Structure 1
């Protein structure tokens, strides 16, 4: 990895004299390769909400930095996550989402697996010496849930999901996130490094400029956190999840604690997802790193389940969907420009503002895992 030691040291100084990360932190393929081994394959990452796979056989396939994976609900009601390849010669098994019933059949040579991952059928393998069906089931990832949010990891070593989250569950308890249901998702293909997306998501320095005609200027504070997450809270006595000055279409969640009533939490649960938790809803920015200069970004939105049966739910929810997509696309535009600029041979890291505290915190977290 070819980062300048002087620039790394400058990036970790106290904020009032710190500088931004070296360009290679976002542009160097060697850094991205190190992140894959030491960050993406070592830590919990968010997949989806559990209620999106309600029935036995329901599945959803995902791309990930560790390769294709698939989440599936078994006949026993349990969710499991597997590497999405056939144990014969490696063909992709499932794409998109849907329901496969009780069995997954490889489209190449028709090996088949039960929806709990066990190998079921393997044509013409009876003469293979030492062949063991039990040993040739699908390869499982570690899987866990918190309040219906499903996380996976490629290793079984390290902290549990709750240990990884630290005090995040306690801080969000009054929002009753287990009662949330996902009602909307889009995926954007962004020509920038994954870290730029999440750094942008935890600073309000840019909002009055990039989002001048949408969310406008914002003020925030940075609550102290414990565990592998960081946070800013944008101060507003009402939800900022819509773009009008009118009262939001949905009432606040009942029972919010005093801090939660004061504004929206824009969090990053390391390494790859933001949960934005407002007084009336939640939305996420889930980054799927593809390369040092390309990221798939899923934006998803949730509301309390009690609101979904409302006759006018779709009408009420539409302004939220509009805000989430429009603002994400505005960010996408400026971040792709930032990525291009970082490729300049004359680029030098600039000084940080006091409003960049969580930008620095995210960079330091990643650098620590890379051993820089």
Structure 2
């Protein structure tokens, strides 16, 4: 499809007469490139929890739409994010997770960098005219944290992280998310567009069908938000983070406000991450867009730090891990089928239900930023 806003107009109408997005929104490489240029390279995106890298020299490498990056804790205790390539001829510096101590050494020609990004060693460069070690340190991304959640961006322009989040911190204040600690993660390679994952995460229209044998049918309400995020709240007087009708293994977080006690917030912080915040825990769906039809999905789970010291924590936490993984895989199964269907030459956008309001809201947010 062409990058012409008129092609999206049926999807931008008032909800009661709106259509779903055209197929190219999810299948066209040109749309994906426009998203890379105008969304992924210009907005804050979630990386991980800060406690995942507790010690100087701890690092984690990430693949992102803007290329490989590495998050590393310096000897001064500060986290920093860098483009994950050597300044000599571009070799990848670090893979996976680990600890490099005080220095990162390129596996190709042994240039080395301190864990704060400064160039340390550069063999055989003494005769290079105009060479400046200071100017050849690692290239930094903008990095910020909120309550231990680490975000990065490829530009230093635009709103601060707190401005980007809007009233998300206020809405989640009584959950005390700074006390959360990540205890579990899985990564799934998904053959669908990244937006399909997040659209699915903010509607309960599908739950009684796709998840009929797990979470079952759900009812939700949509809440007004300020900033670059949206949310629904699935109504339930207790946590829905396990698949049993019994009382959840962990007590609710103390001091939850009246709204928080009503159910689980299923949020999307634009552009690429969902935080699902229940009465006793939090889990995330972090989408890493790889191509118009491929996404790497990380599902992570957190509990209040005080729970981790319980002698039977691992046993109590297992039902949560089971739920998060099973439901995520059920969603992946249906979304990969949806992606295949969107490739039909006969595909025509269908009408939206009132239960698709946040699906539409996400599409509108994206289209408004594609510079169409």
Range into which the TM-score falls when normalised by the shorter chain: over 0.9
- Partner of 2:338: helix, strand, or coil? helix
Deviation larger for 253-262 or 5-14:
5-14
- Please list, as runs of the form range in 1=range in 2, the aligned pairs for 1:12-23 lying within 5 A after superposition: 12-23=12-23
How many angstroms does 1:143 deviate by?
0.1
Aligned partners of 1:216, 1:223: CA distance in 2, in Å?
22
Count of residue pairs the alignment pairs up = 372
Q: Does 1:170 align with 2:170?
A: yes
Deviation larger for 4-13 or 27-36:
4-13
- Partner of 1:63: helix, strand, or coil? strand
1:35 aligned residue: 35
Deviation per residue, 1:195-234 (Å, 9 max, x gap): 0000000000000000000000000000000000000000
1:77 aligned residue: 77
Gaps of 5+ in 2: none
Aligned partners of 1:103, 1:290: CA distance in 2, in Å?
30
Aligned partners of 1:263, 1:32: CA distance in 2, in Å?
34
Deviation per residue, 1:246-294 (Å, 9 max, x gap): 0000000000000000000000000000000000000000000000000
- Please list, as runs of the form range in 1=range in 2, the aligned pairs for 1:163-312 lying within 5 A after superposition: 163-312=163-312
Change (3 A) 1:22 1:77: same
TM-score by length of 1: 0.99
- Partner of 1:208: helix, strand, or coil? helix
- Partner of 1:48: helix, strand, or coil? strand
Aligned partners of 2:318, 2:371: CA distance in 1, in Å?
45
Q: Does 1:48 align with 2:69?
A: no
- Please list, as runs of the form range in 1=range in 2, the aligned pairs for 1:103-142 lying within 5 A after superposition: 103-142=103-142
Aligned partners of 1:251, 1:274: CA distance in 2, in Å?
23
1:145 aligned residue: 145
Aligned partners of 1:46, 1:92: CA distance in 2, in Å?
21
Aligned partners of 1:179, 1:127: CA distance in 2, in Å?
53
- Partner of 2:369: helix, strand, or coil? helix
- Partner of 2:258: helix, strand, or coil? coil
2:87 aligned residue: 87
Please say if residues 85 and 91 of structure 1, whose CA atoms lie closer than 8 Å, have aligned partners that are also in contact: yes
Aligned partners of 1:5, 1:235: CA distance in 2, in Å?
36
Change (3 A) 1:356 1:132: same
4+ residue runs over 2 A deviation: 3-7
How many angstroms does 1:99 deviate by?
0.4
How many angstroms does 1:2 deviate by?
1.5
Deviation per residue, 1:103-154 (Å, 9 max, x gap): 0000000000000000000000000000000000000000000000000000
Aligned partners of 1:273, 1:223: CA distance in 2, in Å?
18
How many angstroms does 1:6 deviate by?
4.9
Please say if residues 7 and 349 of structure 1, whose CA atoms lie closer than 8 Å, have aligned partners that are also in contact: no
- Partner of 1:308: helix, strand, or coil? helix
- Partner of 2:75: helix, strand, or coil? coil
Please say if residues 3 and 25 of structure 1, whose CA atoms lie closer than 8 Å, have aligned partners that are also in contact: no
How many angstroms does 1:5 deviate by?
5.1
Please say if residues 209 and 217 of structure 1, whose CA atoms lie closer than 8 Å, have aligned partners that are also in contact: yes
How many angstroms does 1:371 deviate by?
2.3
Aligned partners of 1:182, 1:362: CA distance in 2, in Å?
27
Aligned partners of 1:370, 1:151: CA distance in 2, in Å?
22
Aligned partners of 1:33, 1:266: CA distance in 2, in Å?
28
